[in-house]
């Protein structure tokens, strides 16, 4: 049987359906954000964990120049290192006759026979290597789909300055390239970058690496995970004589970094964004129920006079919030599940992860309902408690008017006399109803903040891209040489058709040390007055690179705990490899340039290279820039914002013929990233 209070509740809800629906919609949006982002977070995190276990994702990567296999096992055997695998990996250029732009590739060796290995692959079509050919390859799935490649097709790779035909036997994905990104790129571009897995024997043959390797991937033991940095330093020291280029933990591995950052960002947004909506809904609901209780003051007094206890009346007014909370929570759960499915579908476009699906998480949906109800009850609590304080005789009389009096604005006579009577009433009401005014202002502020933040993110990305690639890194093409080249390479590239300006660059992977603080980075040497790489400070003013000293980014300076005027030890990974103390006034702070920069001549002399040697060329189509592939460490990145250079292939072919450059790197769009010769046209 429906009681009097229940009938009253249903009647009041029906009469105020519009306002309650508005409040419930705010709650539903908050729960949608929570359930959708939290579910997408769990989808991505659990798929990542499954994938990493399935493929035995490495804990560390160590890149070297060349190391004999006979000695590597002995050097890698140490406490804290659980298992490891040696392999051969190089960059290459893909020759696609029907695709006019430069295409880069990463070539990685795999065992001849299918066995579980660290950084294993997951076949998506075709099969593993057979015994029929030595030049078989497995291509990453995204690249194969972008160019219509299938098992049984052949493709030409420029490897070690020679063109090689390889036969595709399958397509695959790998946890190491869950986010398939070329070095220096920001977004995946499957048309211009691919990963090729080849037989170990084939890699040894084409790279002249018989009985040797240039990379170690490994996993820490359970005890080793507690001191990963110390173990990596020991391994780097043990392998130092083989020319260690980089020792990279998983946390700095490019694909894992993007994936982990995305997961962490989702987790943070799943907490912050819903809270803004739910707090707003609770405040609005509090104002709404306050108005209802004032309107029903006489009815409440009558009920109390008829013998109703405080408890049922208190629960009656809490029921408004309960109805809104349950309705908003259910709607939010449904919309949240759909939004999680949409987010996961978008992630499937960017992350190559098997079984990345949208699952139903009962715990998340239950938490969504509970949070919705809790915030709704909190919004109802104040008004419900107000009804408990009323005595029957007092409640049956209309509420006395609020105390009047002048507001503080009236003291500003020059302003107050200029306001009309209507505006004076508005101002008095706003200042006398402070709680309502504050709630309304907070709600408006929250909505405006969400809108402005979204718009500013778009503006900030546009500004950063334009600043970085129109004012700092201004070349159109990069040409990467396998080793340092003399002025003849520079001259040859300047004579290429369509090249307007060429600037050489010398890049070298170095360890920057300041006492206990160290960082493996690429140090870039520039010519005085360089126009294609122009480091700038926080105000956008071009930085004049000092004759002695080094320019660091603000973030790198913070990591190394150095300030302008400090001394910094620089340990190169090749050349004479002796420690150089850079400085007297060593440090300036630059805003955008990713690499550390020093004068090219000083850097070349410091590391046993001739000043005319260069390893990267920049160019404006009509320009070129040159970089050593060994210096292409994970930390050095340049964004992918392609300009589309029509004469890129002609410049690349001429450069390859004239200077013997290219270990597959060739010319690339300057915006695509890794250090290389650059051109503008």
Residue 645, pLDDT score: 32
Q: Is 628 exposed, middle or buried (0-12, 13-18, 19+ CB in 10 A)?
A: buried
Give the pLDDT mean for 86-108. 89
Structure confidence at residue 85 as a pLDDT band (50, 70, 90): very high
List, for residues 599-630, the tens digit of each pLDDT value. 444 444 444 444 444 555 555 443 333 333 33
Residue 211 has pLDDT above 70, yes or no: yes
Nearest-angstrom CA–CA distance, 267 and 253: 21
For CA atoms 478, 481, 483, 484, give the dihedral sign. negative
Nearest-angstrom CA–CA distance, 95 and 653: 11
- 569 forms bridges with which residues in the sheet? 513, 581
Buried b (16+ CB within 10 A) or exposed e, 392-407: eeebbeeeeeeeeeee
Tokens standing for 525?
Answer: 């040497």
- Bridge pairing between strands 60-68 and 244-249: antiparallel
Structure confidence at residue 585 as a pLDDT band (50, 70, 90): very low
> What does the domain layout of the chain look like in residue ranges?
4-51+257-400, 58-252, 474-680
Residue 56, pLDDT score: 94
Residue 27 has pLDDT above 70, yes or no: yes
List, for residues 493-503, the tens digit of each pLDDT value. 888 888 888 88
Task: Please check whether residue 31 is in contact with residue 368, taking contact to mean a CB–CB distance below 8 angstroms.
Answer: yes
Distances (CA, A) of 22 to 275, 327, 612: 17, 12, 71
Structure confidence at residue 300 as a pLDDT band (50, 70, 90): confident
List, for residues 110-149, the tens digit of each pLDDT value. 999 999 999 999 999 999 999 889 999 999 999 999 999 9
Structure confidence at residue 459 as a pLDDT band (50, 70, 90): confident
Nearest-angstrom CA–CA distance, 287 and 428: 18
Residue 355, pLDDT score: 84
Q: Which of 99, 183, 181 has its CA nearest to residue 140?
A: 181
What average pLDDT does the chain have? 78
Residue 457, pLDDT score: 82
Residue with tokens 């004049």: 544
Nearest-angstrom CA–CA distance, 274 and 328: 13
Least confident range of 54-68, 399-413, 531-545, 558-572:
399-413
Residue 618, pLDDT score: 53
Buried b (16+ CB within 10 A) or exposed e, 544-554: ebbeebbbbbe
Nearest-angstrom CA–CA distance, 235 and 75: 8
Buried b (16+ CB within 10 A) or exposed e, 31-56: bbbbbbbbbbbbbbbebbeebbeebb
Least confident range of 183-192, 458-467, 556-565:
183-192
- Listed in sequence order, the residues at least 6 apart from 495 whose beta carbon sits closer than 8 Å to its beta carbon are 654
Using left for φ > 0, alpha for ψ between -120 and 50, and beta otherwise, residue 622 falls in left
List, for residues 326-375, the tens digit of each pLDDT value. 999 999 999 999 999 999 999 988 888 988 888 999 999 999 999 988 88
Q: Say what the pTM is.
A: 0.72
Buried b (16+ CB within 10 A) or exposed e, 630-649: bbbbbbbbbbbbbbebebbb
């Amino acid at each position: 049987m429906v009681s009097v209070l229940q009938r009253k509740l249903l009647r009041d809800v029906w009469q105020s359906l519009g306002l309650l629906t508005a409040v419930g919609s705010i709650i539903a949006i908050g729960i949608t954000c929570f359930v959708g982002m939290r579910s997408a977070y769990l989808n991505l995190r659990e798929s990542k964990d499954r994938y990493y276990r399935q493929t035995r994702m490495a804990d560390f990567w160590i890149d070297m120049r060349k190391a004999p296999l006979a000695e590597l096992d002995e050097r890698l055997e140490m406490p804290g290192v659980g298992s490891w695998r040696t392999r051969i990996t190089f960059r290459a250029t893909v020759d696609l006759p029907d695709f006019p732009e430069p295409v880069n590739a990463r070539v990685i060796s795999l065992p001849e026979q299918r066995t579980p290995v660290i950084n294993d692959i997951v076949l998506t079509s075709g099969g593993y290597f057979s015994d029929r050919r030595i030049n078989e390859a497995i291509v990453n799935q995204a690249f194969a789909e972008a160019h219509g490649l299938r098992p049984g097709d052949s493709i030409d790779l420029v490897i070690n300055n020679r063109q090689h035909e390889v036969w595709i036997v399958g397509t695959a994905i790998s946890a190491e390239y869950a986010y398939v990104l070329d070095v220096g790129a920001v977004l995946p571009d499957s048309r211009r970058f691919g990963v090729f897995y080849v037989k170990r024997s084939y890699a040894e043959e084409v790279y002249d690496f018989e009985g040797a390797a240039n990379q170690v991937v490994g996993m820490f033991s359970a005890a080793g995970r507690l001191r990963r940095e110390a173990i990596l330093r020991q391994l780097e020291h043990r392998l130092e004589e083989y020319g260690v280029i980089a020792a990279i933990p998983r946390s700095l591995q490019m694909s894992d970094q993007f994936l982990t950052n995305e997961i962490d960002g989702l987790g943070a947004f799943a907490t912050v964004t819903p809270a803004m909506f739910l707090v707003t809904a609770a405040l609005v609901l509090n104002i709404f129920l306050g108005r209802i209780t004032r309107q029903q003051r006489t009815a409440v007094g009558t009920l109390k006079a008829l013998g109703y206890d405080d408890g049922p009346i208190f629960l009656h007014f809490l029921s408004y919030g309960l109805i809104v909370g349950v309705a908003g929570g259910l709607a939010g759960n449904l919309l949240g599940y759909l939004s999680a499915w949409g987010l996961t579908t978008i992630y499937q476009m960017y992350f190559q992860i098997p079984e990345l699906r949208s699952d139903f998480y009962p715990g998340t949906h239950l938490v969504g309902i509970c949070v919705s109800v809790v915030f709704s009850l909190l919004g109802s609590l104040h008004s419900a408690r107000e009804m408990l304080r009323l005595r029957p005789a007092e409640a049956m009389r209309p509420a006395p008017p609020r105390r009047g009096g002048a507001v503080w604005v009236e003291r500003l006579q020059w302003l107050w006399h200029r306001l009309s009577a209507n505006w004076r009433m508005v101002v008095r009401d706003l200042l006398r109803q402070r709680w309502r005014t504050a709630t309304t202002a907070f709600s408006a502020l929250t909505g405006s903040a969400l809108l402005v933040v979204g718009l500013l993110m778009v503006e900030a990305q546009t500004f950063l891209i334009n600043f970085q690639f129109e004012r700092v890194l201004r070349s159109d093409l990069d040409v990467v040489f396998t080793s340092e080249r003399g002025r003849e390479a520079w001259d040859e590239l300047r004579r290429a058709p369509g090249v307007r300006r060429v600037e050489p660059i010398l890049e070298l992977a170095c360890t920057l040390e300041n006492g206990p603080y160290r960082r493996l980075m690429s140090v870039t040497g520039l010519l005085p007055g360089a126009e294609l790489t122009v480091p700038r400070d926080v105000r956008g003013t071009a930085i004049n690179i000092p004759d002695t000293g080094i320019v660091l980014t603000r973030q790198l300076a913070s990591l190394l705990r150095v300030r302008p005027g400090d001394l910094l030890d620089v340990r190169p990974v090749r050349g004479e490899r002796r420690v150089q103390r850079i400085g007297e006034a060593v440090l300036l702070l630059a805003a955008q340039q990713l690499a550390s920069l020093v004068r090219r001549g000083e850097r070349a002399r410091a590391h046993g290279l001739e000043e005319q040697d260069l390893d990267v060329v920049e160019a404006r189509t009509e320009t070129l820039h040159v970089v050593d592939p060994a210096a292409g460490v994970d930390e050095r990145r340049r964004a992918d914002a392609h300009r589309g250079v029509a004469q890129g292939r002609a410049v690349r072919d001429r450069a390859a013929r004239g200077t013997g450059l290219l270990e597959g790197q060739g010319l690339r769009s300057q915006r695509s990233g890794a250090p290389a010769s650059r051109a503008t046209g």
